[in-house]
Structure formats: structure tokens, C-alpha cells
Amino acid sequence: MQRIDNFKSIIDKYKVIFFDAFGVLKTYNGLLPGIERTFAYLEAQGKEYYIVTNDASRSPAQLAESYHRGGLNFINADRIVSSGMLTKEYLDLQVRDGIVAYLGTVNSAHYIESQGLHTLPVSEIDDSNIDKVNALVFLDDEGFDWAKDLNKTVNLIRKRTIPVIVANTDRAYPLTKSDVSIAIGGIAAMIESVVGKQFIRFGKPDSQMFMFAYDLVRAHSSITKSDIVMVGDTLNTDILGGNKFGFDTVLVLTGNTLQKDLNTRITATGIIPTYICETAVIEDDGLDLK
């Protein structure tokens, strides 16, 4: 049986806390009630924190704004590391010019715009511009016609030998208490198997996400891996990825992993968090914010 730890006592042991977003800070229902107390405590204790999230549907600024709307004013854009940011870095470094075709909303394409590159939805690719397409990005499951544009995407990839980037590896995300939605990572996996090519995937559990965040921390302080703890709700992304990168990890039970399945899942996968907590929300009387 696994020991259940108190989240506040774990925070006290580390200098930097990395948080997954979905299932840890928020659910389909909005922010977790009381999660603002956790961030108030982090601020009061002078702890550093980052949100490390598989999300390419919006820019860090827009993600931060959504936290502010929910009353979590502490979280600013510079605290957010998303798989979308890795996608933008890749385009900056590896695609010199031409068109970046994408699947997703117009909004999701805005912030990956790079100097010299022109983003264009797959629906607007035709014989007149296909030769200028130098990369393809899977950004979001919304904003396009699945039947029409996914077939178009398959044929684009067959005709152009170009890098194909998946900006979020998740296969599904929760929509309501009982329903999920197919995520762009699931759609990309289908296209990958149809065309038989290997795409470039950004997102946890891949180390590159953790490195991006780790680099931000090290830019202004002499932190090492053992000073950092990663908090997540999903064994095979947050916990596997954080652990492999060398961070201690906290599994919280407010998202993908339920208390009743806990032991079964840990034994079945062999993925073992350093700590397990019911929630990342600190209890009301647990605060010392004076």
C-alpha cells in the first residue's frame, strides 16, 4: 500500500515546484477550489514554481489570462512552459522559410509564427502553394473539418518530405465528469500510422519539456535537479517524465489517477512517484502567510 503524504510538507522540502495544469490546478470544471492558497503559500515562502503543460492550443499569455480570470493572479506568462513553446523553438531553429501548414484554430497558429515563416491552415493548401510548404504542425483538435482536412493532411505528407511536428502528445482530454475528447495527439498518431512516417512529438513525458523549464530556472539561480519536484496527475507523462529527468515527483489524485486504482496502476506500469498526495490544494488552516 502506498503512503499518502501532505502536500504542504513536500513543498517545504524543495526550492522549485513544477506543476502540471490539467488534473492538478484545474479540471473540466475550472480551477480547483482553494488552489489559490497553494500559490499564496508558495509566494509567501519564496518558492519558485512553473506550470509545465502539454498544451499547444494557446500562447503562454493566453494561458496565464485564463488563470487570472479564475482568480489565480500569481501565474504569469513567464511561469508557463508549454509543448507549444517547444514547437515554436523548433520552427525558429529548423525551418528557414516558406509555409508552415497547420491543423488547429487560427488562434493556436498565431504564437508559433516565426520570422520568415508564413502559417496557413491545411484547408488553404492547394496546387499553387504546396511546393512552398516546409513544415506541418498538429496544434489543436478544433478549428478544422476533420474528414476533409485530415485526408488533405495525409496527401500533403505523402507529397512533401518535410518535418511534421505534433505540438501536444496527449491522446484525449477530459470534457466533463464522464466524457473525454480526442486530442490532437490521438489524431496525429492515426495520421502517422496511415502514412508510415515518424513525426516529431513535443510534450511530456519527453525530456525536452523538462529541460526547457529547467533552463528557465537555471537562467537566474544555481538550482540543481534535486531541488525540484514535479507535481502531476498522470503516471505515464508527468511522473515517468519527471522521474526520468531526475526530479522527485508527486502524484496527486485529483485528475487521471483515482485513489481506488492507485496500487494497481503503479504495479502494472512500474512507474513509481516519490510521493502521493490527495491534492495540491493546501488546507485552509495549513497556511502561514502573514
Query: Minimum CB separation from a second copy for residue 40, in Å?
Result: 30
Output 37 or 265, the one with its CB closest to a second copy: 265
Residues 142-161 that bind a second copy (CB under 8 A): 145-147, 150-151, 154-155, 157-159, 161
Q: How many helices (H) and strands (E) does the chain have?
A: 10, 15
C-alpha span between 39 and 48 (Å, rounded): 10
52: contact with a second copy by CB under 8 A = no
247: cell is 526530479
For residues 259 to 288, the per-residue mask of contacts with a second copy, x marking binding by CB under 8 A and - elsewhere, is -----x-xxxxxxx----------------
194: contact with a second copy by CB under 8 A = yes
Query: Minimum CB separation from a second copy for residue 44, in Å?
Result: 28
What's the residue count for the chain? 290
Whose grid coordinates read 513535443? 202
For residues 241 to 260, the per-residue mask of contacts with a second copy, x marking binding by CB under 8 A and - elsewhere, is --xxxx-x------------
Region from 14-22, 45-53, 192-200, 278-286 binding a second copy, contact rule CB under 8 A: 192-200
Contact 14, 248 (CB under 8 A): yes
The percent helix, strand, coil of the chain (3-state, each to 5) is 40, 20, 40
216: contact with a second copy by CB under 8 A = no
**Three-state secondary-structure class, residue 279:** coil
C-alpha span between 247 and 225 (Å, rounded): 6
Alpha-carbon distance values, 193 to 41, 189, 227, 281 (Å): 46, 6, 40, 40
140: cell is 489543436
Query: Minimum CB separation from a second copy for residue 217, in Å?
Result: 13
Candidate residues 9, 190, 221, 258; the one interacting with a second copy per rule CB under 8 A:
190
192: cell is 502517422
Strand partners for 166: 138, 201
Count residues contacting a second copy (CB under 8 A)?
60
Q: How do 26-27 and 30-31 pair as beta strands?
A: antiparallel
Residues that bind a second copy (CB under 8 A): 89-90, 93-94, 141, 145-147, 150-151, 154-155, 157-159, 161-164, 171-172, 178-182, 186-187, 189-191, 193-200, 206-208, 211, 225-226, 236, 240, 243-246, 248, 264, 266-272
